[in-house]
Amino acid sequence: MSECEFVYFRGDFVPSADARVSIKARALNYGLGCFEGIRAYWNEDDQRLRIFRVEDHYRRLLNSCRILQMPIALSAEQMVEITDELCRKNEVRADSYIRPIVYDTVEAISPIMTEDGNEFAVFVQPMRDYLDTSGGITACVSSWRRTGENMIPARAKPVGGYVNSALARSEAKANGYDEAIFLTADGYVSEGSAEHIFLVRDGELITPTSQEDNLEGITRHTVLALAGELGRTVVERRVARAELYVADEIFFCGTGAEVTPVRGVDRRIIGDGAMGPVTRELQELFFKAVRGQVEKFAHWCHLV
Ligand SMILES: Cc1ncc(COP(=O)(O)O)c(C=O)c1O
């Protein structure tokens, strides 16, 4: 069996090649589903795998199910057990990404959520950097606006909502940037295509509130806690586009992005164009915390 061969599918652990969804499924035709992205970190010293804030991710998945009215008869605890078993079956011994998804298997023409026909699946794959966490990245303000709370709620993770992210990220890449920054319909900074954004101005951390059409972020919450630990002031408030251009430092954070410095926005250099001191300090603590090396936050790291 190759690495991460098994997936959890329709109540069983099966080879990935056997996990197939019908072309008629509503999940495929209408994007009816919701998902999570979770990181697991392998520790060579004690030969253990630690999944970062796994219970929080599954609680958020169940919230997404509630928002979408897609009930699934599993608790967060049961989902954690399935995930543990999946990692054991695949003998995961590397930093990895876990992707749980709840999707609508109903084969019918009409975009409507129903009580029945929702399935839970999970796969795991090795993953290192999603963005360049050491060298930093460039970003542009997207011409695409973030989907609003009364369109496709961005505080959840609905499958179909990621068309919005894909449009913005594809446009950014086509224009030579690494990532996109969304504004809300009102024109204030929201988040990246798959990460939250923090600015540093005069030593103070600033980030848009969760009311600015962004995901209820787990890494965002982690960064807030770590910043507190470092004695940094964090202000959660509306952020105007032009504030990005005068920030001393900017970084993205997220499960995939971890803590990634932003070197430039819209062809303006941020700070001196390299990772700033506040970002560096936070990133160092973040990488220790996710690996269970910070006593106070060790409870975030679930041992498989
Ligand atoms: C749109 C969006 N924003 C932000 C994030 C970061 O959130 P979290 O730190 O909870 O993974 C993600 C990734 O999950 C995302 O897809």
Name the nearest CA neighbour of 304 among 54, 132, 30, 84.
84
User: What pLDDT digit, counting tens, does each position of 126-149 carry?
Assistant: 999 998 999 999 999 999 999 999
Alpha carbon of 152 to ligand 1 centroid (Å): 15
How far, in Å, CA of 201 to CA of 246, rounded? 8
**Alpha carbon nearest to ligand 1 atom 13, residue:** 194
- pLDDT given at position 186: 96
Region 279-293 average pLDDT: 97
What is the best residue among 216, 255, 260 to mutate for testing ligand 1's pocket, by most ligand atoms within 8 Å of CB? Answer: 255
Residue 238 confidence (pLDDT) above 50: yes
Beta carbon of 194 within 6 Å of any ligand 1 atom: yes
Q: b or e along 145-154 (b: 16 or more beta carbons within 10 Å of the residue's beta carbon)?
A: bbbeeeebbb
Q: For residue 223, what are the contacts with CB-CB under 8 A and spacing of at least 6?
A: 196, 198, 253, 259, 282, 286
User: What pLDDT digit, counting tens, does each position of 83-93 carry?
Assistant: 999 999 999 99
Beta carbon of 156 within 6 Å of any ligand 1 atom: no
Residues making up the chain, counted from first to last: 304
How far, in Å, CA of 267 to CA of 303, rounded? 43
User: What pLDDT digit, counting tens, does each position of 174-189 carry?
Assistant: 999 999 999 999 999 9
- pLDDT given at position 3: 75
Name the nearest CA neighbour of 280 among 259, 265, 304.
259
Beta carbon of 36 within 6 Å of any ligand 1 atom: no
Tell me, what DSSP letter sits at residue 149?
T
How far, in Å, CA of 67 to CA of 26, rounded? 17
Alpha carbon of 39 to ligand 1 centroid (Å): 12
**Catalytic site positions:** 157
How far, in Å, CA of 109 to CA of 232, rounded? 53
Measured from the CA of 192, which atom of ligand 1 is nearest? 3
- pLDDT given at position 4: 84
Residue 2 confidence (pLDDT) above 60: no
**Alpha carbon nearest to ligand 1 atom 5, residue:** 195
- pLDDT given at position 1: 41
Beta carbon of 255 within 6 Å of any ligand 1 atom: yes
Instruction: Determine contact, residues 128/7, Cβ cutoff 8 Å.
Output: no
Beta carbon of 215 within 6 Å of any ligand 1 atom: yes
Alpha carbon of 1 to ligand 1 centroid (Å): 31
Answer whether 0.85 is exceeded by the pTM.
yes
Q: Phi and psi at residue 193, in whole multiples of 5°?
A: -70, -25
Identify the three-state secondary structure at position 27.
Answer: helix
How far, in Å, CA of 64 to CA of 71, rounded? 10
